[in-house]
Structure 1
Amino acid sequence: MLVRQPFPFVRFARPLPHPGEEAPAQRLPVNAWTTEDALYVTASVAGLRAEDLEITLDNDVLTIRGEVPAPAEDVEFVLQERFHGRFERRLTLNVPVDIAAAEGICEDGVLKLRLPRAEEDRPQRIAVSAGAAQ
């Protein structure tokens, strides 16, 4: 039996991942922002503990990896939208960071990273003195 979809082009409106990106269901939602002193990254990691995550910095690429455990096998879902399995998210940093001073905490389902800017990247103040009028 042939089943026709009334709106076959609706599927083309869905966002597609770019080459090398994860599918939307597996994508780790993050926020990132900078200040004069540091780069901050937060990520939604509901249900995971700090030991379930692996965070690395290679050159200027920050990588967050982990695995969401599969639900019990004896469960018959009527609706299953939550992702399970391995995930990886890579962010290219635009600022050099001091990785030795980096801090991370995982609490209440949120991973919070503070990556201090490298000293040479921080804005430097130039002292200006008052000179004699000419």
Structure 2
Amino acid sequence: MARTFDPFRDVDQLFSQALRTPASTAMPMDLYRDGDNYFVKIDLPGVDPSTIDVDLDDSTLTVRAERQPQAGEGVQWLTRERPVGTFARQLTLGKGVAAENINAEYTDGVLILTIPVAEAAKPRKISVTHTPSETLQGEIESEGNDNDSE
């Protein structure tokens, strides 16, 4: 079957392929902090959970996953927008996280990484003590003495 020429469609496809980065389209990600945890949510629909690999090397967190093609040989593709193959995404973690307590869970096509904030990086209240200066204390005492002599 011959494909009709559509310059707008062809240009759109060319630009979308050129401007698209494989990691961000194959593994779109949300990253946010809620309370004492950072959350990374990576969409991995159609990925076999056994192919998901999460590694931490120093401060670099790497997520790899593989999506296999679903159609058999001899298939005539009309549109193929879902990427297949092995994909990776890297994040550089700051010093304010408890890297030893990272948790990864894959549910309904979404990989959720929970990265706790390190105790040292958590906000804390610092109490303020007040000690009157010696000069001010001396003035208060001498004024008190003046009142006694009246």
TM-score of the aligned structures, taking structure 1 as reference length: 0.72
Q: Deviations over 1:60-108 (max 9, x none)?
A: 2221101101232242222211110010111223353222221111111
Q: Deviations over 1:17-62 (max 9, x none)?
A: 6xxxx43675410000124412110000001243221111222222
Residues matched between the structures, number: 127
* Structure with bigger RCO (C-alpha 8 Å, 6+ apart): 1
Partner of 2:49: 50
Change (3 A) 1:113 1:24: closer
Partner of 1:89: 89
Question: Residue 125 of structure 1: SS of its match in structure 2?
Answer: coil
- Identity in percent: 27
Moved more, 84-93 or 70-79: 70-79
Q: Which amino acid letter does the alignment assign opposite residue 59 of structure 2? A: D
Report if aligned partners of 2:26, 2:44 keep a CA contact under 8 Å in 1.
no
Q: Distance in 1 between matches of 2:31 and 2:95?
A: 12
Q: Which amino acid letter does the alignment assign opposite residue 50 of structure 1? A: P
What root-mean-square deviation, in Å, do the aligned CA atoms of Structure 1 and Structure 2 show? 3.2
Higher helix share: 2
TM-score of the aligned structures, taking structure 2 as reference length: 0.66
Report if aligned partners of 2:36, 2:117 keep a CA contact under 8 Å in 1.
yes
Q: Mind listing any 5+ residue stretches in structure 1 that lack a counterpart?
A: none
Q: Considering only CA atoms, is the larger Rg found in Structure 1 or Structure 2?
A: 2
Change (3 A) 1:99 1:93: closer
Q: Mind listing any 5+ residue stretches in structure 2 that lack a counterpart?
A: 137-150
Q: Distance in 2 between matches of 1:14 and 1:83?
A: 11
Q: Distance in 2 between matches of 1:24 and 1:62?
A: 14
Partner of 2:142: none
